Amino acid sequence: MKLNKAFILIIICFCLVFSTYARGSDRGPRDYINNNIDFMKKELGLSDDQVKKINDIMFDSFKQIEGKRIDMEKANLEIKEQLLNDNPNLTKIKTSIDKKSGIKADIEFITIKRDLSIKSVLTQEQFMKWKTLRKPKPFMFFNSPFPMMHRRNNPIFNESDE
């Protein structure tokens, strides 16, 4: 019985990982990054050198975050596996929950690091405009001009530093 559960868990894990890539098969990470950079180039007047640097920063952070999202799915599956058992191991569940918390912290750190790297590429005027463009607007949850980059609680965009 345990072997069957483990096999099912492995199959589910593979399905989740591959479905992540299949969801937007015609739109991969490069398309999202290019859309964001095109928007930034248009709105902020980025130079070609700035575009190249920001492209590299965004693609690197996207790869890191995608890896963390896969780790998060694995942790979720570990919890689900324990909950399927007749006697779930609470210690393993707690370990998986702690792992998820660490992964969330890693993603937040990668996001902040990415934004600070982009800030260092921009001029002060470009950064102030970028900061204004990234402020969440009412009823704009799904239509953010920066779909990959929307972070309400990112400290580099707080009001206190204006």
Q: What is the pLDDT of residue 56?
A: 92
Tell me if 61 sits within 8 A of 111, measured CB to CB. yes
Extents of the domains making up the chain: 2-161
Amino acid (one-letter) located at 1 = M
Percent of the chain exceeding pLDDT 70 equals: 65
Q: What is the pLDDT of residue 139?
A: 47
Q: What is the pLDDT of residue 78?
A: 93
Q: Looking at per-residue confidence, does 53 or 144 come out higher?
A: 53
Tokens of 7: 């096999």
Tokens of 78: 């570990």
Q: Where are the beta strands (DSSP E) in the chain?
A: none
CA angle at 68 for the pair 65 and 73, rounded to the nearest 5°: 130
User: What does the buried/exposed string (b/e) look like for 51-80 if buried means 16 or more CB atoms within 10 Å of the residue's CB?
Assistant: bebbeebbbebbebbeebeebbbbbbbbbe
Indicate the pLDDT class of residue 138, thresholds 50, 70 and 90. Answer: low
CA–CA distances in Å: residue 25 to residues 20, 21, 37, 71, 123: 9, 6, 20, 21, 35
Indicate the pLDDT class of residue 25, thresholds 50, 70 and 90. Answer: very low
Average pLDDT over residues 54-71: 92
pTM exceeds 0.75, yes or no: no
